[in-house]
Chain A
Amino acid sequence: MAKYRIPAVVVRQAQLAPGIFDLRLFAPEIAKEACPGQFVNVWVNDRAKLLPRPISLCGIDRANGVLRLVYRVTGERSGSVEYVSYDRGAEKNEYRITGETTGTEELMTYGRGVRLMVLGPLGNGFPTDLEDCCVIGGGIGIPPLLETLKHLKGNTCAVLGYRNSGMFLNEEFEKAAGRVIIATEDGSFGTKGTVIDALEAEAYVPKAILSCGPKPMLRALKAWAAERDIPLWVSMEERMACGVGACLGCVTESAEADGHSKVKNKRVCKDGPVFRAEEVVL
């Protein structure tokens, strides 16, 4: 699978929920090669921000050459970002933030026509030849599961965990999945608690699980799935630099010595981000 570093063009950008943005990029070379569960490295146009942001693919539109990235803005200002319109041509919007900002604070200001460098597709992606499979996502781990779900066969189910009723993508999951189960930490929508609380409340036992979310969620899910003998794949996150497996910045502890590293470390960017749950120590 070829990887490309190309200038992509913002097709549009919108805000889905507080701090959650939906970015469409015209990047046909990458869209042609990409698989669900993979990610891209995105550079903002501030050269003092050297490193790319690794962002998972929420949507791959091969026909139109468009990648969809749904990401969370991190940093001081992310909590106070209100809805703004981004479809005003190639200029940055008036909410441009000055001073020291995070990469995603910069990225969220890019409207239609802005060019930025993207490298991808990166990583291995989810298996999609599974039947009657469930996708389980928590928070900003939810987006890559939307594209993944569209490739699965048979009866599908999505279990989505949010902090509160500030939900995003749930309506699109409703359209794509046979069934959608929602949990919120504060109980403002669906089951109160975690994705596991929701699975138990619905007495639902999937045949296989593809998951992405914060480490505590993946850890709990691994124990839950192991007890029930359910095959589980997890998509991991770690701070990255190169994104291609060279720098060894983003390793995660593996159960066995890894064939490449010869130590119990796998590279999230290259060997992952998706692993069989048994492969990694969570």
Chain B
Amino acid sequence: MDKARKPLEPDLRVSVAGVEFKNPVTVCSGTFGSGMEYSEFIDLSRLGAVTTKGVANVPWAGNPTPRVCEVTGGMLNAIGLQNPGIETFCERDIPFLKQYDTKIIVNVCGHTEEEYLAVVERLRDEPVDLLEINISCPNVKEGGIAFGQDPKAVEAITAAVKKKAKQPVIMKLSPNVTDITETARAAEAGGADALSLINTLTGMKIDINRRTFVLANRTGGMSGPAIKPVAVRMVYQTAQAVGIPIIGMGGIASAEDAVEFILAGATAVAVGTANFVDPYITGEVVDGIRNYMIRYGVSSVRELIGAVH
């Protein structure tokens, strides 16, 4: 064989807050459980990281149903952060994920600062790699978005979490703000090691036959391909404004979408709603990024980060 013609194996490794991912692909919190349901379809070891469904200090029952509905090119959800609580999570979900050769990002939710900190402290000695702090859920009244829309509150909760956390901290930002670079800078000022964006866009669907709201919660978070251009723009703006790495997400349904986010400035990318459309999609995104790199002779995916010009 002619060795010279063999293409170089592209290097997909990226580093998020000092944690090395074998490739830049993870999943959006809440779209993948703790990976158990999707492990039937995809080997979780193929992912750079698994990001878990948000977990609180105690079990949360979530919102009444209907919790989900379809909109053109996307969907709305108002699950309300149903979760089994941190104890069950530590006993069941972490050991499950440790069977795989992937990084673990635990998404943390709470109603109050104390609740967030209780989870962060409980995770101190658990074998997880990163914490993602959800200050942007549009579907719970207290907590979540209450912390995520005011730059001062973002800085304060970030600093409080940083003080207690053993693992690097990712702050997950809301797109439901006038200027996302303000909350991004606030998180950076509070000591955040990385940012995740975007969470869902608040939306509403009305059933005109019944003249009622489709979702029991009336509003829900919009996700899916329809929000991707908004997300790409926000990742680009944020990458210009801060110096910490970004995990880009919002409507990623293919490797091409993922490359767009990386070019806009994301170090890693997360696949969310697309998991519901195709349970094999995460593996295809990994393969597709590699193929893109071979096609364009890119030796390291790190060369692509923010490479739009």
Q: What is A's interface to B at a CB cutoff of 8 Å?
A: 2-3, 5, 43, 47-52, 76, 100, 103, 117, 119, 238-252, 257, 260-265, 270
Contacts and interface: CB of A to CB of B under 8 A. Distances in A.
A247 B77 contact: yes
Contact of A247 (B30, B66, B69, B278): B30
B84 A260 contact: yes
Interface in B28-81: 30-33, 37-38, 40-41, 53, 59-62, 65-70, 72-75, 77, 79
A239 B66 contact: yes
A87 to B, nearest CB: 30
Contacts of B85: 262
A240 B68 contact: yes
Which of B33, B72, B74 has the most A CB atoms < 10 Å from its CB?
B33
B37 A50 contact: no
Q: Is the interface of A mostly helix, strand, loop or mixed?
A: loop
Contacts of B41: 3, 5
A50 B82 contact: no
> Which 8 residue pairs spanning A and B have beta carbons closest together?
A249-B68, A262-B84, A246-B37, A246-B33, A262-B59, A263-B61, A242-B276, A239-B66
Interface centre among A43, A241, A257 (most CB of B within 10 A): A241
B299 interface: no
B276 A247 contact: yes
Nearest to A53: B70
26 contacts: A3-B41, A5-B280, A47-B225, A50-B70, A50-B73, A50-B75, A51-B70, A51-B75, A51-B277, A117-B278, A238-B66, A239-B69, A243-B276, A247-B30, A247-B31, A247-B276, A248-B53, A248-B82, A250-B65, A250-B68, A252-B65, A261-B84, A262-B84, A264-B61, A265-B82, A270-B37
B237 interface: no
Interface string B211-255: 000000000000011000000000000000000000000000000
Given A100-B72, A241-B77, A242-B37, A51 B276 contact: yes
B82 A241 contact: no
B276 A5 contact: no
Contacts of B30: 247
Nearest to A251: B65
Contacts of A244: 37-38, 40, 279
B267 interface: no
Interface of B: 30-33, 37-38, 40-41, 53, 59-62, 65-70, 72-75, 77, 79, 82, 84-85, 88, 209, 224-225, 273, 275-280
B65 A239 contact: yes
Contacts of B65: 238-239, 249-252
Contacts, number: 111
A50 B273 contact: yes
A43 B274 CA distance: 13
Given A50-B75, A51-B75, A249-B77, A241 B276 contact: yes
A207 B279 CA distance: 41
A43 B66 contact: no
Q: Pick from A100, A261, A262 the residue with the most CB of B within 10 Å.
A: A262
A53 B74 CA distance: 14
B40 A3 contact: yes
B75 A251 contact: no
Contact of A119 (B67, B69, B72, B279): B279
Given A47-B225, A240-B68, 8 more contacts: A50-B74, A50-B277, A100-B72, A239-B65, A241-B68, A242-B275, A244-B279, A262-B59
Contacts of B273: 50, 241
Contacts of B277: 43, 50-52
Nearest to B85: A262
Contacts of A263: 59-62, 82, 84
Contacts of A5: 41, 278-280
Given A3-B41, A5-B280, A245 B33 contact: yes
Contacts of A119: 279
